[in-house]
Amino acid sequence: MSNSAEAPARVREHFHENARSFDDLYEDERLLQRLLRPGLFRRRELALEAVRSHEHARVLDVGCGSGRIGELVLLTDARSWVGVDFAAEMLELARERLARFGERAQIVEGDFLEVPLAGPFDVVLALGLFDYIREPEPFLERISQLCASGGSLVASFPAWSPLKGPLRKIRYEWINDCPIFDYDAQRVHALLQAAGFERVEIRARRSGLLAHARR
């Protein structure tokens, strides 16, 4: 494996090469996808539940990818959705998907730790983000800064599985040279509390951990 400074570039290259196939994983009209990847749909439902708990929510989607979650958020009464990602090819798909929502949808290309964002946001989503981050603390610190008092974060964290873990390592790191990282519930809870989230709920699933944390 290369050193950690090279990791973001390798992740970006992975999504450059696999944008449409990755986007296709979220095609929820296919029964097979629902059966094979139930975790994707569980985290989507928790995200929408969090959005609906606020009236006309302002939503920030960190690592928004192709805008699949953004589309569903904007079909609620959310006031606005801001998606941030550094993968240009994924964002092109998001622009196509969300064009009909006009000014309610804003897409920001760049490094989440550096791009200017006008908070606070009622709900912050980080779904599929922490899979690729070696040091999550700076990301969670900025998320906390952008999250409104009384607001919430919905985030997913991959957890090691004796069945899927080795397969993911082979697929991502050995074949695609894309680093991935795993978490456990204790670490996730500590990370979120250290970032300033007082109420933390973690749901353990076969596919990983799903956290709902509130300010």
- From residue 163, alpha-carbon distances to 110, 117, 159, 206 in Å are 34, 39, 11, 10
In percent, how much of the chain has pLDDT > 90? 59
Predicted local confidence at residue 2, as pLDDT: 31
Average pLDDT over residues 193-214: 90
| Nearest C-alpha neighbor of 134 from the set 5, 30, 41, 12 | 5
Distance of CA 15 to the CA centre of its chain: 14
Please say whether the beta carbons of 161 and 180 come within 8 A: no
Categorize the per-residue pLDDT at 159 as very low, low, confident or very high, splitting at 50, 70 and 90: confident
User: Residue 27: beta bridge partners?
Assistant: none
- Tokens linked to 204: 């353990």
Kindly write down the DSSP assignment for every residue of 164-200, as one continuous string.
HHHHHIIIIIIIS--------HHHHHHHHHHTT--EE
pLDDT band, residue 41 (cuts 50/70/90): confident
Q: Does 13 have pLDDT greater than 80?
A: no
Q: Is the pLDDT of residue 168 over 60?
A: yes
- How many Cβ atoms are within 10 Å of 168's Cβ, its own excluded? 15
The pairing of beta strand 208-214 with beta strand 147-157: antiparallel
Number of Cβ atoms within 10 Å of the Cβ of 180:
20
Tell me the mean pLDDT in the region 57-83.
96
**CA angle, 139 then 118 then 47, to 5°:** 60
What does the pLDDT read at residue 160? 76
pLDDT class for 177, splitting at 50, 70, 90? low
Compute CA 69 distance to the chain's CA centroid, rounded to the nearest angstrom: 9
User: What CATH topology corresponds to 4-214?
Assistant: Rossmann fold (3.40.50)
Residue-level pLDDT at 4: 36
Q: pTM value?
A: 0.82
How far is C-alpha 46 from the geometric centre of its chain's CA atoms? 12
Peptide bond before 120: cis, by omega within 30 degrees of 0?
A: yes
The Cα 17–Cα 176 span in angstroms is: 10
CA distance 199 to 149: 12
